[in-house]
Amino acid sequence: MKQLFKFWILGLGLFCFFAANGQPASELQLLEVRKIWDEAPHNAFTDLIRYNDQWFCVFREGEDHVSPDGALRVITSKDGNQWESAALVTASDMDLRDAKITLTPEGHLMLSGAGALHDKSENTHQSLVWFSEDGYSWSESYPIGDPDFWLWRTTWQNGKAYSMGYGCSKEQLLRLYVSNDGKNFETLVEDLGISGYPNETAMVFSGDTAFCLLRRDREKNSGLLGISLPPYTRWEWKDLGTRIGGPQMIQLPDGRFLAAVRLYGGEGWHPAHTSLCWVDTKEGTITEALELPSGGDTSYPGMVFNDGILWVSYYSSHEEKTSIYLAKVKIN
């Protein structure tokens, strides 16, 4: 009995320790996952937003993971169960990739992506944005940033749009852009000086502090967490110690940071999959909390915390065809 009591006290102590740090393993409860779209041969690279009491999910459709016919599909739902197409954004001269969606200060939807140009004689990529008041009718495209720089995701703060752009041709560096209207982006930091191959990012503003979750590849491939204060020209970077892909990150109402990323498999390790992870911004650590049903070609999530439930869009090929999924997660 004394031994059992000791184990009980130890377990209670560990529970209290993790609860105090806000990251117990059972904190996240997967309520449901459903496939919401698979009409194209390859459906991938998602983002998610709640707008005018409707859900909008955006992603790329194409023949394959890399193919010249990529287009950006916008689908919508009132309840998250039944989905229908709202729009298809196409371009005849480029493969449109990696749809991201956000809300402007004026209350308009802003869709962004990058085009891999068919004619690569002068440049290889061009980042673009489109605008809509209803999610169904979209404006003409506006080129943003420098050619061959992929402005990955737009985040608004105090009326300004910020976007990390990475060089995807000769210059493999990370550059910070800023805009007053979402159409005209100026360089704020020419080169953030990141070693390895910095690319995909997720930015969160907490008060005036900016946090950036960054993917790296090549010889140095562990993810980084960047922290900066206004005017966001100087950044401190912390090595997360693990490789991540397709990052997205939000701050919950209680102040904690939650990310959704691709975690990579390897010899003796669990295969690649999409997971929710706690991010400790003080310690510079990332901790897996909940694996989503996924595998193979997967990740690139969108995240929305709505009425106490976390909604996560992502794509995966674990059921053979690469399709779009929506998960609902309760945070206890």
CA dihedral 220, 223, 228, 231 (to 10 degrees): 70
**Short-list 235, 240, 243, CA closest to 218:** 243
CA distances in angstroms from 52 to 87, 104, 108, 154, listed in the order given: 17, 14, 10, 20
Strand order across the beta sheet in which 257-263 lies: 244-251, 257-263, 273-280, 285-291
pLDDT in tens, 53-78: 999 999 999 999 999 999 999 999 99
Task: Please report, for the chain, the start and end positions of each structural domain, with discontinuous segments joined by +.
Answer: 27-331
Q: What is the pLDDT of residue 270?
A: 75
Whole-number pLDDT of residue 204: 98
Find where tokens 């689908």 sit.
75
Q: Which residues of the chain have pLDDT under 70?
A: 1-26, 266-269
- What pLDDT, on a 0 to 100 scale, did the predictor assign at position 81? 96
Amino acid 268: pLDDT = 59
Task: Please tell me the predicted confidence (pLDDT) of residue 265.
Answer: 75
The pair phi, psi for residue 15, each rounded to 5°, is: -60, -45
- Report the distance separating Cα 8 and Cα 300, nearest Å: 41
pLDDT value at position 170?
A: 83
User: What is the structure's pLDDT at 5?
Assistant: 37
41: left (phi over 0), alpha (psi -120 to 50) or beta: alpha
CATH class of 27-331: mainly beta
**pLDDT 10s digits, 141-151:** 999 999 999 99
pLDDT at 219: 85
pLDDT of residue 20: 38
What is the structure's pLDDT at 232? 98
The whole model's pTM is what?
Answer: 0.91
